[in-house]
Amino acid sequence: MYYRITALYVITYVIALPLLCSDLPYSMYFRYDVTPGRRTQLDRAIEENQQRIAVAEDYLRKHGPHHRVFRRLNRMAQKRTQPQLVITVVTVARQPHNGLAEPRYLTQVVTQFVQLLEHEGDNIMFQVCNVHFPPETHHEAVFLSKYVPVVHRESDEEQPNEEDPFEREKLDYTFCLEKSVELNPEYVLMVEDDALPTPDMLHVLRHKLQYRLKLRIHQGELVHSSDDWAFLKLYNIERWQGYGSDIVSFLELTGVGLLGGTAFLLASQRRGLKTHRRFVMFVLGFVYVVLLCWTVGRQYFLQFRRLSAQLYTVTTGPFCCTPAVLYPGNMAAEIADFLKSGTCDERYPLDFALSDFAIDKGLTRYKVEPNLVQHVGLVSSIRSDVRDPMEF
């Protein structure tokens, strides 16, 4: 019996996983040579970006600005009726950098949201918030204004004389947040222009708002939740989502280990098997499954949760990241006022300021796993560099 288990360990961890996981960035078996590896990952990311641009352009070309979905979105913006949800995409112009072609993230994000809103657009208002100055030089946003509502600062509006890019980002974000609050929605979803929504984003959001944040199961019944929360983050850096990153993931790993130990024990049941051997079999199964999950990477097992909205989890949110954040409408106005009262810089960026608001008010910060957006911004809007694809 022990020979079989030894063979299983060897086949799994010495032969199978090194072959299967060598190209998985978050696996312990990932082979990454710093210079060639980064170049390969970067080339792949650029190629994927070009493919998404082609798909987005094809969608716009086939549908045209007078398609029913674009007419409906513009009609809702003109009526300014109180929506349940306002989706605001914050955008600034990004220029070609280090030989990279114009990334055109905004076009990709807009078309993907429009495709989602074709099927789940009831009582949802969508807009692009152009914070580039002067606004008419953001040619991508100007072009897309033929299709979707675009709000922007007026060209003759006095602009804050702010050189720090982190403070500039905060001021821009606050402006767009206030424009969203003016529509008096129940919720505001602020999205950066390089955050692509997943195909099930709106469906999962509806489910989690209804059955996790509005209502909760108490003693087998659905009751209204009394929990006040500041925001729900739809994205966290994937390399920070591994086992051991927080207590929840540690408990998750322990739980699957216990299931593995139980499975090994049931598979090896024999009459007369002594108690200490049963314990050994349980431990071997526990260790086998824990090692399997740890070496492959939690990020890949999280993908199984995409099978159903019920499997997505909502847990305490991190300090990091603002690619996509959902705010209750009543909190969004307070957050905008709070942001205007402080100053951001490299040591105190926007995401830290948002977390400080929640802490000061004693409100809960949430995140959803797995991510509901894909962060694709290789060309940063703040730093003058090209980011490493392994960073997000």
Name the band, by pLDDT with cuts 50, 70 and 90, for residue 392. Answer: low
Average pLDDT over residues 81-110: 86
Of 154 and 192, the structure prediction assigns the larger pLDDT to: 192
The confidence score (pLDDT) of residue 32 equals 62
44 exposure class (CB count in 10 Å sphere: 0-12, 13-18, 19+): exposed
What are the two backbone dihedrals, phi and then psi, of residue 208, each rounded to the nearest 5 degrees?
A: -70, -35
The confidence score (pLDDT) of residue 117 equals 94
The confidence score (pLDDT) of residue 270 equals 62
Name the band, by pLDDT with cuts 50, 70 and 90, for residue 271. Answer: low
CB 334 within 8 A of CB 188: no
Q: What is the pLDDT of residues 200-232, one digit of tens each?
A: 999 999 999 988 887 655 445 544 554 689 999
Mean pLDDT score of the chain: 87
Q: What is the pLDDT of residues 43-62, one digit of tens each?
A: 888 889 999 999 999 999 99
Average pLDDT over residues 287-300: 95
- What is the CATH topology of the domain spanning 49-239+319-391? Spore Coat Polysaccharide Biosynthesis Protein SpsA; Chain A (3.90.550)
Average pLDDT over residues 69-90: 90
Q: Given a cut of 70, is residue 145 above it in pLDDT?
A: yes
Q: pLDDT > 70: what percent of the chain?
A: 86
Q: For the whole model, what pTM was predicted?
A: 0.89
> For the chain, which residues make up each domain, given as ranges?
49-239+319-391
Average pLDDT over residues 336-347: 92
Q: Residue 98: left if φ>0, alpha if ψ -120 to 50, beta else—which one? A: left
| Weakest mean pLDDT among 264-278, 310-324, 355-369, 376-390 | 376-390
CB 131 within 8 A of CB 172: yes
Which residues, in sequence order, are CB contacts of 219 under 8 Å at separation 6+? none
Q: Which residues pair with 328 in a beta bridge?
A: 187
Which residues, in sequence order, are CB contacts of 119 under 8 Å at separation 6+? none
